Structure 1
Amino acid sequence: MGLTNGLSSGEGWARMVRPFFPTDMIVIEATPRKLYQSIAERIAATIADGRYPPGARLPSERELAEEHAVSRPTIREAMIALEIRGLVEARHGSGVYVIHAPRAADIAPELDVGAFELIEARTLFEGEAAALAATTIDMATLRTLDDLLERMHDATSDTAFAADRDFHLTIAEATGNSLIRSTIETLWDVRERSPLCVNMFARARREGVTPRVDEHRRIVDALRDGDAPAARDAMRAHLSRVTADLLEATRLDLIERAQAEADAQRDRVSRRHIA
């Protein structure tokens, strides 16, 4: 097909494509800073400028949440991020203390994904995946889920946690949508590779948090009934409970390492007095 209106081929092509590529196109940043990262940066800045020098006790979690107008889980993630960086430490029954001032180059580091942010994404994707799976799941897959529930009872080993992952990925697979399955698997990979997530879930395990078999069974029951809304609700309720467990297990005054350090300090003092 030729170009008309007396235009050369180059001029005609340019006019045809120009409307689809506006020169004032808005560029959107691909990786916006996460909220807890911004809060961690703000707190690090207050440490750097001397408001909270090394040795100072930071305000309580509640006070920081009010000061920065964010939730307490966001403050908790920010505190753990700062602790991983070696700027603060939690002391049992006392609070969080500054141990080092950040260098100027360290005030805005690239922090990784936090557990609460991860669970929020999982709730969105896995809730809908469960609803879709309820309309497509077969008996063989239901039997697989039943077997995984039995493996979750083995809470004394890594078996229960491996079964938990397999359980959720089996439901994702049951949707029949490879992209959904891949997305949910990626979220689980984040849980296992993100230093902040690994840190928070490890603390939860030390506090005795294990997969809740009864919650997983309610998901299976809804899938077996082919009840999409019930499957979605059961999955969301389960992940809401995971959030609650993390909040409890990662309370700053329950960090075992801080307790161990305090005990070691008392032992050193006792030995000096005995000597």
Structure 2
Amino acid sequence: MSNRRLFWRIVENIEASIDSGHYSTGSRLPPERELAETFDVSRPTIREAIIALEVRGKIEVKTGSGVYVLDTGNNTNSNEIINAFEVTQARALIEGEVAAIAATTINRDELKQLNATLIAMEKGKDIEAADEEFHKIIANSTRNAAMILSVENLWRLRSLTPEIIDDYDSVCSSDNTKTLAEHKAIYTALESGNATEARHAMHGHFNRLINSLFDVVETKALEEIKRKNSEKRDLYSIPSLNS
């Protein structure tokens, strides 16, 4: 979670430099290596920041050329209003069908790769990376470039805003046992080649995630109410009035 917050601070820093004109429209950002040295972070962290900036419509990555600043002055970015519930609902609909297709196309090597992610999750090793790898292996096994790109873009949206990052972190950090069980159910359906069961298992996975997100939001709302009430209590208490 700390790594995610670190990369988000880098996103905000670069975005502020773009908005202030330090990096003007059409200009090229410094190379990945230089940015890593500037922010004193690893190059993979810079790559994550670049992906987030690209999703937000701030930059364009041109293969073999570099990263260029886009003109966003007259462009309203609809991504800014996306929330964790919308991302999860979209994932449920798309990845449910992805799983159904994968049940008929996945091969033994890909099943072995999926099983390796389950083992990693059981051992508590890079759980978040194993989770992402699990879903991307399934997408890749469809052999459908549009499906693969859709799943990759939805994973990028998970890192779109601090709110989405925090909401997902709150759920995923506490529900690894449930996530693992759901992944195993998906794996079993894929291994048996049952498209209907694969779709059903994937939908069940995301349905639980959506309900968990609601629990997180409700908890945060109650905490905010308590905080505001505490401030009012301090303001209107008799000792405060007599001081």
In the superposition, the TM-score normalised over structure 2's length comes to: 0.57
Partner of 2:194: 227
Letter in 1 for 2:81: D
Partner of 1:165: 132
Deviation, structure 1 residue 150: 1.4
Partner of 1:144: 113
% same residue: 32
* Stretch deviating more after TM superposition (112-121 or 146-155): 146-155
Higher helix share: 2
Partner of 2:122: 153
- Matches of 2:202 and 2:136 in 1, distance apart? 13
CA contact (8 A) 1:112 1:195 kept: no
Cα deviation, 1:166-225, whole Å, max 9, x if unaligned, reads 11111000001111001111001001123331232233356x233611111010000000
In angstroms, what is the RMSD of aligned CA positions?
A: 3.1
Larger Rg: 1
Partner of 2:149: 182
Cα deviation, 1:15-56, whole Å, max 9, x if unaligned, reads xxxxxxxxxxxxxxxxxxxxxxxxxxxxxxxxxxxxxxxxxx
Q: Taking structure 1 as reference, are residues 137 and 250 closer, same or farther at Cα in structure 2, changes over 3 Å only?
A: same
2:182 to 206, 209, 215: 215
Letter in 2 for 1:224: E
Aligned residue-pair number? 160
Letter in 2 for 1:201: Y
2:208 to 224, 241, 244: 241
- Matches of 1:265 and 1:149 in 2, distance apart? 49
Q: Taking structure 1 as reference, are residues 140 and 255 closer, same or farther at Cα in structure 2, changes over 3 Å only?
A: farther
| Paired residues for 1:65-104 under 5 Å | none
| Paired residues for 1:191-206 under 5 Å | 191-205=158-172
Partner of 1:121: 90
In the superposition, the TM-score normalised over structure 1's length comes to: 0.50
- Matches of 2:132 and 2:229 in 1, distance apart? 36
Q: Taking structure 1 as reference, are residues 253 and 191 closer, same or farther at Cα in structure 2, changes over 3 Å only?
A: closer
> Structure 1: which 5+ residue stretches go unaligned?
1-108
- Matches of 1:260 and 1:154 in 2, distance apart? 38
CA contact (8 A) 1:113 1:196 kept: no
* Stretch deviating more after TM superposition (134-143 or 258-267): 258-267
